[in-house]
Amino acid sequence: MKGISVIVVEAADDAERKRVEYVLEKWRRNASRLRGIVIRFEGSPEAFLKELSQKLTTGSVRVFKAFEEEVEVEREKRTAHFVIERGREEAEKLLSFLLAKMGASLREMRRFDDFSESEYGLYTRKGGVVIRITLRSGEKEEKERTDVHVHVEGASEAPADVLKSLEKDLSFFGARCKE
């Protein structure tokens, strides 16, 4: 008997469901949708199966034993540091604009006295990424300076591409990469 894996995908929205459909279509030689109703049952299913068979006129009921398998997909991580010669609020607005231009959506933002943290989600042609940004105000004598720490995590080449694009856009506004 060849190995069969039952893979449960819970798509967050319609766009994500369509991306899953695309991958499924690409892998149609090895993967297909299950027909019928897939039921997750914990415990011994004998009584359930007996009652279920009494309700069906025709139809096939097949039972598979399944064990959840933890699958770790390796994710790429990229980090960059920039300096923006503007106050933190201006830098925040600039980054928000640039990320919105790329199609990113804000997931979470926290502001504190001397720094802020934000998290964005973005889907690119090369995969989805999570972008985490920390902004720190410059020293008291350098109020119009913001240190920017960008961490991008995602599949395959997407983090490098997103970081490269962000770096290009930021350089247009006078930001410089900090080693």
**pLDDT of the chain, 179 residues: tens digit per residue:** 567 788 888 888 888 888 889 999 999 999 988 888 888 888 888 999 888 888 887 767 888 888 888 878 788 999 999 999 888 999 999 999 999 999 999 999 999 988 999 999 999 988 899 999 999 987 656 568 899 999 999 988 899 999 999 999 999 988 888 76
For the chain, list the domains and their CATH numbers: 1-71 (no CATH), 76-177 (3.30.310.80)
Both tokens of 63, joined, read: 């039972």
| CA-based nearest residue to 135, from 73, 178, 72 | 178
Q: Which of 114, 123, 172, 117 is nearest to 149 (CA)?
A: 117
Taking the chain, what is the end-to-end CA distance rounded to the nearest angstrom?
56
**Residues 128, 122 contacting (CB under 8 angstroms):** yes
Output the CA torsion 117→121→124→129 (10° steps): 70
Q: What is the Cα Rg of the chain in Å?
A: 24
What whole-number distance in Å separates Cα of residue 160 and Cα of residue 145? Answer: 26
176-177 and 105-111 as β-strands: parallel, antiparallel, unpaired?
Answer: unpaired
Residues 6+ away with beta carbon under 8 Å from 76: 153, 154, 155, 156, 157, 158, 159, 160
Q: Say what the pLDDT of residue 78 is.
A: 95
